């Protein structure tokens, strides 16, 4: 039986690296250039196994905790942010800290501190166990309660319904988060939130782009690792539109059975997936015989974040 070959590929745009991921990966690469190996990285710098593997090959050493870094060593903190305790531990071990926390995550941390200082019960909308959530909760552990769905609102312990605030993980489904916030407002009419949405611009843009893409294709392949929250949300958003979608690390993850009856394949990638992986998937289909490749551009991103100040100082010294 002949193998199914899609007639056309459509690439979502924007896709792939966001400004925060680009900054974090660049931080590790430049730290290796400046300080030499080993440079220690707390947790995965970003949630993509290819990126982690390539940096490991260059001399980055990934550790679970700052306590695993030799005293006086260089440590890069991942894009997902950390609890205040991590900074205290690093200082006690005389570590040279390069903080690659995404500025949009830092904004959520600041909101948590501000609401806690004003005596609010803080509802954090996010996924339990995700590194970003762990770091945010560490800012005000006694004040923050985590929920991940509308149903969990019933379980909140709120001493004063007039003093409730919400914040969110930056990589959630935009639609699902709006639904949870609406339910929170219904339960607690006085609830307040940040002036500007916590969900990052890149997450929103990639979800909007994949929604547009899904209207024109039979199948969507999302390139990203299993532990990437924003990549998983791209799959969810697509499936909610009634279009088949699968998460793949690279071209090796494509199941030929998915292509049965498929004429047009849409391709996007999570905010922590490098563009090289998109190229590999496109080349895979071209090798099979797919000839048409188009790009579906929704918005042009021009966001850029400066490298951590600690790295800039070290480089200029």
Instruction: State how beta strands 121-125 and 164-168 pair.
Output: parallel
Cβ-based neighbour number of residue 169 at 10 Å: 25
Six-digit token string for 294:
């188009």
Judge whether 8-17+201-297 and 19-102 match in fold: no
Inter-residue contact 150 to 183 (CB < 8 Å): yes
Sheet strands side by side (includes 60-63): 60-63, 39-42, 74-77, 96-99
pLDDT of residue 197: 87
CATH architecture of 8-17+201-297: 3-Layer(aba) Sandwich (3.40)
Sign of CA dihedral 145, 147, 151, 153: positive
pLDDT for residue 2 is more than 60 = no
Note the pLDDT of residue 3: 61
91, 69 Cβ separation under 8 angstroms: no
pLDDT (0 to 100) of residue 1: 37
Residue 150, both tokens: 């509308």
Joined together, the tokens standing for residue 95 give 């570590």
Name beta bridge partners: 122: 144, 165
Helices 229-240 and 174-187, axial angle in degrees (round to 10): 90
34: its two tokens = 């400046």
- Residue range 127-137, pLDDT digits in tens: 999 999 999 99
Residues 104-187, CATH architecture: 3-Layer(aba) Sandwich (3.40)
Q: What does CATH list as the number for 19-102?
A: 3.40.50.11270
Q: What is the pTM of this model?
A: 0.93
How do residues 147-200 score in pLDDT, each as one tens digit?
A: 999 999 999 999 999 999 999 999 999 999 999 999 999 999 999 999 888 999
Q: Where are the domains positioned within the chain?
A: 8-17+201-297, 19-102, 104-187
Secondary structure of residue 297 in the 3-state scheme: strand
Burial call 211-228: b when 16+ CB within 10 Å, e when fewer: bebbeebbbbbbbbbeeb
Eight-state DSSP code of residue 109:
H
Determine how β-strand 39-42 pairs with β-strand 8-13.
Answer: unpaired
What the block records as the tokens of 203 is 């997450």
Q: What is the pLDDT of residues 211-256, one digit of tens each?
A: 999 999 999 999 999 999 999 999 999 999 999 999 999 999 999 9
Residues with a known catalytic role: 132
């Amino acid at each position: 039986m002949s193998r199914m070959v899609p007639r056309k590929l459509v690439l979502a745009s924007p896709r792939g690296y966001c400004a925060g991921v680009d900054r974090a990966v660049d931080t590790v690469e430049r730290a290796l250039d400046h300080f030499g190996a080993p440079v220690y990285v707390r947790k995965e710098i970003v949630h993509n196994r290819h990126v982690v593997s390539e940096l490991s090959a260059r001399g980055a050493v990934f550790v679970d905790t700052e306590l695993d870094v030799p005293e006086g060593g260089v440590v890069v903190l991942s894009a997902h942010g950390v609890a205040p305790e991590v900074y205290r531990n690093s200082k006690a071990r005389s570590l040279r800290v390069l903080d690659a926390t995404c500025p949009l995550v830092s904004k959520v941390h600041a909101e948590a501190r501000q609401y806690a200082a004003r005596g609010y019960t803080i509802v954090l909308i996010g996924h339990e166990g995700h590194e970003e959530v762990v770091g945010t909760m560490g800012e005000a552990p006694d004040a923050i309660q985590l929920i991940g769905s509308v149903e969990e609102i019933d379980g909140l312990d709120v001493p004063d319904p007039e003093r409730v605030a919400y914040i969110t993980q930056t990589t959630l489904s935009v639609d699902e988060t709006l639904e949870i916030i609406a339910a929170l407002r219904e339960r607690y009419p006085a609830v307040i939130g940040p002036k500007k949405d916590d969900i990052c611009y890149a997450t929103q843009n990639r979800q909007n782009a994949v929604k547009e893409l899904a209207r024109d294709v039979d199948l969507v392949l999302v390139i990203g690792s299993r532990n990437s929250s924003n990549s998983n949300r791209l799959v969810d958003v697509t499936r909610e539109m009634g279009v088949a979608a699968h998460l793949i690390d690279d071209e090796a993850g494509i199941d030929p059975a998915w292509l049965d009856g498929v004429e047009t394949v849409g391709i996007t990638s999570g905010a922590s997936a490098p563009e090289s992986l998109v190229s590999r998937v496109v080349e895979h289909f071209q090798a099979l015989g797919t000839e048409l490749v188009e790009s579906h551009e929704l918005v042009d991103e021009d966001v850029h974040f400066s490298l951590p100040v600690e790295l800039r100082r070290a480089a200029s010294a």
